[in-house]
Structure 1
Amino acid sequence: MVTIEEAQRSILASISLLETERVSLFSGLNRVTTVDHIAPWDIPPADNSAMDGYAFLYDTMDGDRLRVTGFLPAGEYRSTPVAPGEAIKIMTGAPVPPGCDTVVPVEDVREDGDAIHVAASAKKGAHIRKRGEDITEGEKVIPAGSLIRPQEIGMLSAMGTSSLAVYRRARVAILSTGDELLEPGSTPLPGKIINSNSYSLGAQVLDAGGEPLMLGIAPDTLEGTIEKIKSGLNADMVVITGGVSVGDRDFVKLAIEKLGGKITFWKVNMKPGKPLAFAMLDGKPVFALPGNPVAAVVSFELFVRPSILKAMGHDRIFRPRIQAELLEATANKGKRPHLVRGIVSVEGNRYLVSTTGNQSSGRLSSLTQGNGLILLPPDASLSAGEKVDIMLLDRGFEMGKEASL
């Protein structure tokens, strides 16, 4: 039985980068770029006005008075210099014409016929955005390996980019096993349950940026399990839930071996999620996760999600970890590390956490009620107020319900 860390290292050593593809600008959002993006020109391309106002040469003012000799809106350019002692009305974003080194906002002038009087507070060189102030031609603006966020989309568009090369999305085949399973939309019958695992796992694949390929349900036969697994080998990874323990109808490990796969390990020293196997089959990673709903979700977070992210070029592949104060006494009386579902909140500069109650691995509500996993070491007995390590599943609790600065 391997540790969580040993399992993660073993799995990630088997994960290779996926191929690249060229996509439209919007389709690059939350993807990882494969090439350096170099600025083809200065941004801004010329000195321009940061305000609606008047442009002039500061040292040529006649006292506080300037004669206004023209108007320059954004989108137009003037090559004729503005004469000394004169000003031109200019709009925000318009290129500053030759002969000017200062812009005074409209609210800082007093109009006087065809002239203006400039407030004493005007400063030389004010309110001009300099050429190349943002980026300069030839500068490496977005390095290869960068995550493309909305701000990178904006910068790429400013650089004239309409498409970009990124690592493609991981296609992940999802398979549930068990004669007891029915698909959502069915009416539960005696002895039957609804297949929730495939949809939890498929949603986790989507959340990680991958593309789930839903294989449905494999029957509790060796032949049926083999056929279903084979049908998923056109994906980049295969995730199977159920059928991986030691029951009379647990055929997943045997099916993988019959197909020529090599099981790297089986069983991880953790709770929930002990009966977990990882294999390579036809060069594809295969994750055989437990069938209990919570165990499947938790196992995915620890092992599958980092693998998907690595394959798609991400260098930050693990959920964030924090320390939080327990709001209640909590114990782990077992010999395995226990990932307890918790409710994390923030109070001032402190993180607080309480459990979601009953920690049965079949109780999916223990996850829906929480937002993190409390990492309890074996034989731990902790009092309220003690600090524990938390793996955050989402950070929604840090978002405010009301606007604040």
Structure 2
Amino acid sequence: MAANLTPVEEAIAHLLSGAPVVTGSERLPLTETLGRILAQDYRVPADVPPADNSAVDGYALRTEDYSPGQTLSVSDRIPAGSAPGPLKPGTAARIFTGSEVPEGADTVIMQERVDVIENGILINAEVKADQNIRRRGQDLAEGSLALAQGTKIRAQEMGLLASMGIADVTVVKKLRVAILSTGDELVDPGNPLGPGQIYNTNRFTLLGLLAEAGCEVVLCETLRDTRSVTRETLERAAAVSDLIITSGGVSVGEEDHVRAVLEESGELTLWRMAIKPGKPLAFGSINGTPVLGLPGNPAAVLVTFLVVGMPYIRTCQGRLEVHPVGQQVPAALNVTSPSVRREFLRARTELIEGKVQVTAYPNQSSGVLSSACWAGGLAVVPEHEMVAEGDLITYYPFTELLS
């Protein structure tokens, strides 16, 4: 590895080894928990479903009461939501999807396989025990672990909690994050650009990324390029946040003050990572609050946040799953010049000649953010390696990187 460049795994391991887990929690209505992190285990208070129920509209009966060609009389009608009495021997009960199966019945025949005749029903199907019956507790058994602490709540977890009758959920408090953009050249959208000025792209990229990551942005400011302003703002941000994320100001230029302030007034434990884009990445702290210093170029901000920042945030949130898994997909691209840095290409999967393959955006410059809008994720080219068309390459969809 090139001198003074920290390998990606080593950098991530360094960050995660000291990541402070948020200890506070809050209780929220189930309707407000999407995207939040469970602060405790949830065990099943009672069997789900609470009783045997029918999986179809049809007729419930006892298999021992039926023989081929036999007509069965219908002794009961069981709509959903009613409590049926025991099934009368030698008869069938009209039953509907979700209705509780009456005591004594051990099978349900779907209505499409039944002929209704004057004296009852005639079944045109094989009759076997346990057909079309959802048994009590088949989804969740009383006392079992339904959802573990650290689980991120998606729509399906909301539904599962509801199935257990849980209306209020204890979740981890949101990680409080301060966003600080650096540079005298930065102008907020909506204002005219003067000579040498550009719009503050990174602020809005980070606002979106942090919202998707389930964080609360408590401070969002632009730092002017002076040492005193940088120090004062970092210290002020440290007082109100759990994590400070900066963009720019961590390279080797005379106006890159974030790294210098961390070295002078705080702690700098990581600087320069073997990643492309995003080499000038820094990590440290000021007044005890962690500081993640991202590069200034827009695409590099996105990549380094996803690759390094998200595992760190997940760890702080107490998440069960910290690292994305990725997919192995054939490459529809060539990389002929090995690099000492691990490259994360803005890429997407496409159906080419009947096969799903990974293609990369033609311009991988760290300043080309439009590449990320075209892309569906990141494809990885390991350091010191080349890639030829057809080689398997690791691909991370953005949805997985931000989940």
Q: TM-score range by the shorter chain?
A: 0.7 to 0.9
Which is worse superposed, 34-43 or 325-334? 325-334
The equivalent of 1:67 in structure 2 is 73
The equivalent of 2:50 in structure 1 is 45
In structure 1, which of residues 235, 250, 253 is the aligned counterpart of residue 256 of structure 2? 250
* Distance across 2 between alignment mates of 1:286 and 1:339: 23
1:298-309 alignment to 2 at 5 Å?
298-309=303-314
1:77-116 alignment to 2 at 5 Å?
77-79=83-85, 81-113=86-118, 115-116=120-121
* Distance across 2 between alignment mates of 1:102 and 1:159: 26
Deviation at 1:292, TM superposition (A): 1.7
Cα gap change, 1:184/1:41 in structure 2, threshold over 3 Å: closer, same or farther? same
Supply the AA of the counterpart residue of 1:293.
P
* Distance across 2 between alignment mates of 1:244 and 1:307: 19
Supply the AA of the counterpart residue of 1:54.
Y
Cα gap change, 1:59/1:21 in structure 2, threshold over 3 Å: closer, same or farther? same
Deviation at 1:18, TM superposition (A): 0.9
In structure 2, which of residues 11, 18, 26 is the aligned counterpart of residue 7 of structure 1? 11
Cα pair 2:62 2:107 within 8 Å, conserved: yes
Supply the AA of the counterpart residue of 1:47.
D
Deviation at 1:355, TM superposition (A): 3.3
The equivalent of 1:177 in structure 2 is 182
The equivalent of 1:135 in structure 2 is 140
* Distance across 2 between alignment mates of 1:267 and 1:5: 13
In structure 2, which of residues 120, 127, 136 is the aligned counterpart of residue 122 of structure 1? 127
Cα gap change, 1:216/1:109 in structure 2, threshold over 3 Å: closer, same or farther? same
Cα gap change, 1:190/1:40 in structure 2, threshold over 3 Å: closer, same or farther? same
Q: Tell me the secondary structure at the aligned position of residue 204 of structure 2.
A: helix
In structure 1, which of residues 358, 362, 377 is the aligned counterpart of residue 367 of structure 2? 362
1:252-291 alignment to 2 at 5 Å?
252-258=258-264, 260-291=265-296
Cα gap change, 1:290/1:162 in structure 2, threshold over 3 Å: closer, same or farther? same
Which is worse superposed, 297-306 or 181-190? 297-306
Cα gap change, 1:23/1:58 in structure 2, threshold over 3 Å: closer, same or farther? same
Q: Does 1:341 align with 2:346?
A: yes
Deviations 1:333-376 (A, max 9, x none): 65444434334435589553343223332222233333344444
Deviations 1:185-233 (A, max 9, x none): 1111111110001111221212222233452211111222123223322
Cα pair 1:41 1:159 within 8 Å, conserved: yes
Which is worse superposed, 247-256 or 181-190? 247-256
* Distance across 1 between alignment mates of 2:88 and 2:340: 85
Cα pair 2:381 2:387 within 8 Å, conserved: no
Q: Which runs of 5+ in 1 are unaligned?
A: 397-405
Supply the AA of the counterpart residue of 1:270.
I
The equivalent of 2:231 in structure 1 is 226
1:305-316 alignment to 2 at 5 Å?
305-316=310-321
Cα gap change, 1:348/1:32 in structure 2, threshold over 3 Å: closer, same or farther? farther
How many residue pairs were aligned?
Answer: 394
Cα gap change, 1:101/1:172 in structure 2, threshold over 3 Å: closer, same or farther? same
* Distance across 2 between alignment mates of 1:105 and 1:357: 56
Cα pair 1:331 1:379 within 8 Å, conserved: no
Q: Tell me the secondary structure at the aligned position of residue 288 of structure 1.
A: strand
Supply the AA of the counterpart residue of 1:368.
C
Q: Tell me the secondary structure at the aligned position of residue 275 of structure 2.
A: coil
Q: Does 1:18 align with 2:19?
A: no
Deviation at 1:280, TM superposition (A): 2.0
* Distance across 2 between alignment mates of 1:287 and 1:111: 71
Deviation at 1:386, TM superposition (A): 4.2
Deviations 1:71-90 (A, max 9, x none): 221111133x3332333322
Q: Tell me the secondary structure at the aligned position of residue 367 of structure 1.
A: helix
Which is worse superposed, 138-147 or 343-352? 343-352
1:182-193 alignment to 2 at 5 Å?
182-193=187-198
Cα pair 1:271 1:338 within 8 Å, conserved: yes
Which is worse superposed, 174-183 or 362-371? 362-371
* Distance across 1 between alignment mates of 2:272 and 2:114: 77
For the aligned residue pairs, the C-alpha RMSD in angstroms reads 2.8
Deviation at 1:307, TM superposition (A): 0.7
The equivalent of 1:352 in structure 2 is 357
Supply the AA of the counterpart residue of 2:133.
I
The TM-score normalised by the length of structure 2 is 0.87
* Distance across 2 between alignment mates of 1:394 and 1:84: 55
Q: Does 1:210 align with 2:215?
A: yes
Q: Tell me the secondary structure at the aligned position of residue 276 of structure 2.
A: coil
Identity %: 36
In structure 1, which of residues 240, 243, 246 is the aligned counterpart of residue 246 of structure 2? 240
* Distance across 2 between alignment mates of 1:380 and 1:126: 56
Cα pair 2:324 2:400 within 8 Å, conserved: no
Deviation at 1:235, TM superposition (A): 1.5
Cα gap change, 1:181/1:330 in structure 2, threshold over 3 Å: closer, same or farther? same
The TM-score normalised by the length of structure 1 is 0.86
Cα gap change, 1:87/1:335 in structure 2, threshold over 3 Å: closer, same or farther? closer
The equivalent of 1:371 in structure 2 is 376
Deviations 1:52-105 (A, max 9, x none): 2333334345861233333221111133x3332333322222222234333333
* Distance across 1 between alignment mates of 2:290 and 2:303: 18
Q: Which runs of 5+ in 2 are unaligned?
A: none
